[in-house]
């Protein structure tokens, strides 16, 4: 019997790292998108939580009938500042005082109610000879509620 003409075994070529498998392409696309989406939802949830908590605290300040009018103004101003610091970059908000603070509050509302309306007593109500009237306080609380609703709508 005659030997068969067999050829030697051919090994496959080594697997290269390029191009990557489809799973790696998918991971390269989905990982950055998921990071961006998680960051967006984290900021949104944080903003909504801060605004909801502030709305509850504002209604508590409004119901507190035993508080002095000046103490009420201080509490409302501090609450608005806390909301602004928690929803905006701290460096943009924390150092604002007086007219700049009122202008910042007016940015989210169209009619400038803090600089030219009932919100004005946040800047000068502490220094008045006579405290603001109950009607001014009621208008201020309504304005603050409107501002908080606007903050919840923003991104």
Residue matched to tokens 């460096």: 91
Report CA dihedral (144, 149, 153, 154) to the nearest 10 degrees: 10
pLDDT at residue 155, rounded to an integer: 64
pLDDT at residue 144, rounded to an integer: 96
CA distance 115 to 126: 16
Residue matched to tokens 């220094």: 127
pLDDT at residue 50, rounded to an integer: 92
Give which of 93, 92, 143, 86 is closest to 113, Cα–Cα.
Answer: 143
Q: Which two tokens stand for residue 43?
A: 């900021």
CA angle 79, 83, 87 (to 5 degrees): 170
For residues 132 and 72, is the Cβ–Cβ distance under 8 A? no
pLDDT by residue for the chain (155 residues), tens only, comes to: 788 888 899 999 998 888 899 999 999 999 999 999 999 999 999 999 999 999 999 999 999 877 788 889 989 999 999 999 998 889 999 999 989 999 999 998 989 999 999 999 988 877 788 888 889 999 999 999 999 999 988 76
CA distance 106 to 101: 9
Phi, psi of 87 (to 5 degrees): -105, -15
For residues 103 and 48, is the Cβ–Cβ distance under 8 A? no
Alpha-carbon distances, residue 96 vs 33, 76, 87, 130, 140 (angstroms) = 35, 16, 15, 26, 20
């Amino acid at each position: 019997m005659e030997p068969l003409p067999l050829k030697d075994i051919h090994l496959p070529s080594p697997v290269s790292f390029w191009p990557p498998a489809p799973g790696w392409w998918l991971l390269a696309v989905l990982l950055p998108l998921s990071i961006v989406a998680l960051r967006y939802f984290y900021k949104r949830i944080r903003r909504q939580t801060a605004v909801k908590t502030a709305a509850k605290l504002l209604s508590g300040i409004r119901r507190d009938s035993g508080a002095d009018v000046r103490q009420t103004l201080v509490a409302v101003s501090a609450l608005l500042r806390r909301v602004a610091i928690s929803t905006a970059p701290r460096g943009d908000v924390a150092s604002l005082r007086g007219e700049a603070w009122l202008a910042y509050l007016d940015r989210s509302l169209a009619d400038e109610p803090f600089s030219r309306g009932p919100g004005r007593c946040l800047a000068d109500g502490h220094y008045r000879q006579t405290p603001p009237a109950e009607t001014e306080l009621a208008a201020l609380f309504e304005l603050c509620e409107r501002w908080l609703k606007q903050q919840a709508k923003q991104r």
